[in-house]
Amino acid sequence: GIQVEQSPPDLILQEGANSTLRCNFSDSVNNLQWFHQNPWGQLINLFYIPSGTKQNGRLSATTVATERYSLLYISSSQTTDSGVYFCALPHDKIIFGKGTRLHILP
Amino acid sequence: KAGVTQTPRYLIKTRGQQVTLSCSPISGHRSVSWYQQTPGQGLQFLFEYFSETQRNKGNFPGRFSGRQFSNSRSEMNVSTLELGDSALYLCASSLIPGAIPKSYNEQFFGPGTRLTVL
């Protein structure tokens, strides 16, 4: 089946820093979602991005479907950005990566 | 528009008991998927229901079952609970089956039910 790999698995940054999270996938897909799971467990939709680039405030995402990867950029990190970031792809079911755990220090 | 709701939010059971969790999707959404999240295994797909029919099933034992009602609300049941069933159970709703890659077919998640089995 399709493989989804996220890197890095863990990231600790100082408030104000920028970060790039990566999602690699092993098969061609027609869509991809990025989620942020907050410390209470809620999964928040960030981007629904099959290809190209989207921006929402300090966050942006780029998916290059032909090269089978997607990147999530977080600029000027805030402590509220802490949590786990997942990418997910539709296949015969939705496949999730193992996530990147981001911890922003005040 | 109200989001996905799950009840109860927290649950404590003992081994051998059974439990029923409920998920109400976003109004108009007909697909509900269930996921189990544990620290060791990450997010694992349990099953998906669309129009009251189970459309897809993950690799879980038969103790895990579910159903969907005509109003698209879904329940999942776990019988004969084991310690390893302690987890966060998440449900997600979408307009049509979640694996169909249409631009309007985002998955939206509920807040989850945290189950502890003692």
Rounded CA-CA distance A93/B40 in Å is 21
Q: How far is CA A69 from CA A2, A34, A81, in A?
A: 13, 12, 22
Residue among A50, A86, A91 whose CB faces B99 most closely:
A91
Per the CB < 8 Å rule, is B100 touching A96?
no
Per the CB < 8 Å rule, is A94 touching B45?
yes
Residue A93: which of B34, B52, B77 has the closest Cα? B34
Record the tokens describing residue B48, joined without a space. Answer: 């998906």
Rounded CA-CA distance A79/A57 in Å is 16
Residue B74: which of B37, B44, B34, B109 has the closest Cα? B34
Mean pLDDT computed over every residue of chain B: 92
pLDDT tens-digit readout, A13-70: 999 999 999 999 988 777 889 999 988 889 999 999 988 999 999 999 999 989 999 9
Rounded CA-CA distance A12/B11 in Å is 32
Residue B66 main-chain phi, psi, to 5 deg: -155, 175
User: CA nearest A84 in B: which residue?
Assistant: B42
Q: Which residues of B touch A95 (CB under 8 A)?
A: 45
Q: Which residues of A touch B105 (CB under 8 A)?
A: 31, 90
CB-CB contact of B55 with B97 (8 Å): yes
Q: Which residues of A touch B43 (CB under 8 A)?
A: 86, 96, 99
Q: How many CB atoms lie within 10 A of CB A36?
A: 21
Residue among A33, A41, A91 whose CB faces B107 most closely:
A33
pLDDT tens-digit readout, A61-98: 999 989 999 999 999 999 999 999 999 987 777 889 99
Per the CB < 8 Å rule, is A42 touching B98?
no
pLDDT tens-digit readout, B69-105: 999 999 999 999 999 999 999 999 988 777 766 666 7
Rounded CA-CA distance B25/B7 in Å is 12
Per the CB < 8 Å rule, is A93 touching B98?
yes
Record the tokens describing residue B80, joined without a space. Answer: 């004969």
Distance from CA of B69 to the nearest CA of A (A): 21
Using CA atoms of B88, A20, B106, A63 in order, give the dihedral in degrees to the nearest 10.
Answer: -140
CA–CA–CA angle B104, A19, A23 (5° rounding): 50
Distance from CA of A76 to the nearest CA of B (A): 26
